Amino acid sequence: MTSTTPGQAQKVRYAQLWEANYDWLTTKLIDDLPVKPSWRCLDAGAGAGSMSYWLAERVPQGAVIALDTDVSLLDAGRAPNLTVEQADISTVELEPGSLDFILMRGLLSQPQVKDADEVINRAARWLVPGGWLLAEDFCYLPSDDSPTANGRTVIAGYLQVLETTGMNTRVGRRLPANLARAGLTSVDMHIRALGPGQGGNALIAERMKILTPRLLGDRLLTQEEIDEFVAALEDPEARDIATLEISAWGQRP
């Protein structure tokens, strides 16, 4: 029997919370597209694979590539039409016109993606005429507008950590325009409010737990400030819109 390290267990738990918070919307948006059983799909930034596995079921006569720089949580044996590929979306080479659908969820904001606009342009070329690209990412709002003093302090520290690591905290705002600039048509979007009290409190609490060593080590926050923030996640008077999840999709003409 293979034992699970505490670090791996935390990684799995975080991935499960992430999927529970975001999968329902992603699957709904894809279901609104004219999906065919023969579609060839790319799940770029596949994470723990929930969307890759779901897509594999939706395209039984097609194929799904689950691509990520870290494939430790992916299981290539989950479906016969699933391929797991360890690669960086910024440098991977895929055949132009070889895909019917591309999903990029929470990918373009990641530190390893230095030029999100170019990644979208390259991905658009991988689509067949009539193929679809769905990109979902975030736009973090200024901490100064949080409704509580503690929220303003904690969110400011949280954002500083993200930006220090190289995360693009505004990329979601540009998605609809960038899909159009990449030559895609029928571009549309959906915006969802995220933050304390918006339905993802367990995910927020886990994220704060993961970042606590960095927040404390950089002296951005105290343990008391973090504990107060987590304790108030269910408080209606602390409910906040800290982030916008922006989903944008378009079709190659």
Cβ atoms of 76 and 46 within 8 Å: the answer is no
Cβ atoms of 84 and 71 within 8 Å: the answer is yes
Question: pLDDT, tens digit, for every residue of 7-26?
Answer: 789 999 999 999 999 999 99
pLDDT at 8: 84
CB atoms within 10 A of CB 48: 21
Question: pLDDT, tens digit, for every residue of 115-138?
Answer: 999 999 999 999 999 999 999 999
| Side-chain half-sphere CA neighbours of 46 within 13 A | 33
Q: Which residues pair with 132 in a beta bridge?
A: 101, 251
DSSP state, residue 110 = S
Confidence band of 94 (pLDDT split at 50, 70, 90): very high
Question: pLDDT, tens digit, for every residue of 142-191?
Answer: 999 999 999 999 999 999 999 999 999 999 999 999 999 999 999 999 99
Query: What fold, for 6-251?
Result: Rossmann fold (3.40.50)
d(CA 159, CA 145): 13
pLDDT at 6: 64
pTM (two decimals): 0.95
Cβ atoms of 69 and 88 within 8 Å: the answer is yes
Question: pLDDT, tens digit, for every residue of 204-246?
Answer: 999 999 999 999 999 999 999 999 999 999 999 999 999 999 9
* Percentage of the chain exceeding pLDDT 70: 98
- When pLDDT is averaged across residues 103-109 and rounded to a whole number, the result is 98
Helix or strand holding residue 22 (H, E): helix 6-31
Question: pLDDT, tens digit, for every residue of 52-79?
Answer: 999 999 999 999 999 999 999 999 999 9
For the CA atoms of 158, 162, 163, 167, the dihedral, rounded to the nearest 10 degrees, stands at -150
